[in-house]
């Protein structure tokens, strides 16, 4: 079969249309892909190509039998649905990148089956138009494999809300704060051991607690008088505003927009409980709340039988933090009791209860509130560490503002 000049005159514009459409669609695919997937991973790309290529020839045969209007429609719609479909699939399908590559194959195969030059207009315009549409590309998406549904810059940091199927993960300054899968474990372990040691009607202050987990558990004690000094007010407002995801907080707490140091100085012998839940950061601003000076203020702000509880991070990765914090607390004249548990999404975590009594024994079998996970048996397990020297730190170190012991420790495997 020989080609005439008329054949070439039709073939060249058609080829240019196919290349223009394919180039626009490929570039758009790479932009969406770079937003959601790690395209530098050669094994993922190769797997997707192999799977999609295996069905490409079958698609060609199918598209040969389709009417022109349907082929034009498919090639026009493909660029438009690439972002929204990928955005939805990533929530539910672990191999969503396979479907992602299929859009490119379908679009190019469909455009190649168009025989009329005029019919290329709509698909090419569609592939160009997507670049002008206000799709919601979130800058922090590249840090996560799952979909970021919301990101917020606050005065203190950045909040990322990530979704996978029906569960959510909330990150603050790139650190996982909690997941809806097991966030209740963190809140229950933080609140109820200490609450079992204070009166039924108590005055409690929370320093930090921006993730809302403690307030949700404190809401089970309706007779408590609760005050909150947020670390990041915008973070605290964000978690409270998303009750559709994190659930409502059944507590009427008074939020104080003040400095925690100044507030404690002005309220001696005021509180039955002080709960300190701040982001686990290697930061001098955070470390001041683990200092000897701050714990002295806390001791003075507590009533005679008052209880202090603070989180002390991952005892396996936060080298020496638990022991340094314990020695620092005890240097103020308080007794202390460390405990820890494993939370699946964030790993091992530890806390420290302190008070003026040398008898610090939480009694969770007498709790008057309901819990999902923690009970007396879980509490007894949390009190055991094994050989405490394993969680090493400087043997006699006490953290103070003038002589810091927590700074520049780094997070290391033991």
- What pLDDT is recorded for position 284? 80
- Strand bridging mode 203-208 / 225-229: parallel
Query: Which single residue is written with the structure tokens 């379908």?
Result: 106
Residues 166-191, mean pLDDT to the nearest whole number: 94
Residues 383-389, mean pLDDT to the nearest whole number: 83
Residues 260-277, mean pLDDT to the nearest whole number: 96
Two tokens, residue 395: 């043997």
Helix (H, G, I), strand (E, B) or coil at 164: strand
Domain boundaries, the chain: 5-137, 146-176, 179-390
User: Which whole-number Å values give the CA distances from 165 to 81, 90, 187, 355, in the listed order?
Assistant: 20, 9, 23, 43
Number of neighbouring beta carbons within 10 Å of residue 42: 8
- Give the lowest-confidence range in 114-118, 200-204, 371-375: 114-118
What pLDDT, in 10s, does the model give residues 324-350? Answer: 999 999 999 999 999 999 999 999 999
The DSSP result for 42-108, as a single string, is: HHHHHHHHHHHHHHHHHHHHHHHTS-HHHHHHHHHHHHHHHHHHHHHHHHH-TTHHHHHHHHHHHHH
What pLDDT, in 10s, does the model give residues 286-308? Answer: 899 999 999 999 999 999 999 99
> Rg (Cα) of the chain, in Å, rounded?
29
CATH code of the domain made up of 179-390? 3.40.50.150
pTM of the model: 0.80
Helix (H, G, I), strand (E, B) or coil at 9: helix
- Give the lowest-confidence range in 35-39, 186-190, 294-298: 35-39
What pLDDT, in 10s, does the model give residues 105-122? Answer: 778 778 877 878 888 899
More confident: 5 or 375: 375
């Amino acid at each position: 079969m020989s080609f005439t000049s008329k054949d070439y005159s039709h073939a060249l514009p058609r080829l240019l249309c196919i290349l223009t459409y394919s180039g626009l669609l490929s570039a758009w695919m790479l932009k969406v892909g770079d937003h959601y997937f790690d395209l530098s991973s050669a094994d993922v790309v190769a797997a997707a190509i192999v799977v999609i290529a295996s069905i490409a020839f079958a698609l060609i045969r199918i598209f040969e039998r389709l009417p022109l209007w349907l082929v034009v429609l498919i090639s026009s719609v493909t660029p438009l649905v690439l972002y929204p479909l990928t955005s939805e699939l990533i929530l539910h399908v672990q191999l969503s990148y396979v479907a992602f590559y299929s859009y490119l194959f379908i679009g190019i195969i469909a455009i190649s089956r168009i025989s009329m030059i005029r019919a290329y207009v709509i698909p090419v315009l569609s592939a160009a138009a997507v670049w002008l549409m206000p799709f919601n590309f979130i800058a922090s998406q590249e840090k996560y494999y799952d979909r970021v549904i919301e990101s917020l810059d606050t005065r203190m940091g950045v909040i990322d809300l990530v979704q996978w199927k029906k569960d959510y993960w909330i990150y603050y300054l790139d650190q996982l704060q909690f997941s809806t899968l097991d966030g209740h474990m963190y809140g229950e372990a933080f609140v109820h051991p200490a609450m079992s040691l204070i009166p039924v009607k108590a005055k409690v202050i929370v320093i930090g607690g921006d993730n809302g987990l403690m307030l949700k558990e404190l809401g089970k004690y309706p007779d408590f008088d609760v005050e909150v000094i947020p670390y990041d007010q915008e973070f605290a407002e964000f978690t409270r505003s998303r009750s559709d995801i994190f659930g409502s907080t059944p507590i009427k707490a008074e939020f104080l927009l003040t400095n925690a140091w100044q507030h404690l100085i002005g309220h001696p012998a005021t509180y039955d409980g002080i709960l300190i839940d701040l982001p686990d950061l290697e930061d001098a601003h955070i470390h001041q709340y683990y200092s000897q000076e701050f714990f002295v203020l806390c001791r003075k702000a507590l009533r005679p039988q008052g209880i202090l509880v603070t989180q002390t991070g991952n005892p396996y990765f936060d080298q020496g933090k638990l022991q340094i914090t314990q020695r620092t607390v005890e240097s103020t004249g308080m007794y202390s009791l460390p405990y820890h548990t494993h939370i699946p999404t964030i790993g091992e975590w530890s806390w420290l209860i302190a008070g003026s009594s040398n008898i610090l024994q939480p009694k969770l079998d007498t709790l008057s509130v309901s819990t999902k996970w923690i009970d007396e048996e879980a509490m007894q397990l949390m009190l055991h560490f094994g050989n405490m020297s394993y969680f090493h730190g400087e043997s006699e170190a006490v953290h103070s503002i003038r002589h810091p012991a927590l700074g520049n420790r780094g997070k290391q495997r033991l």
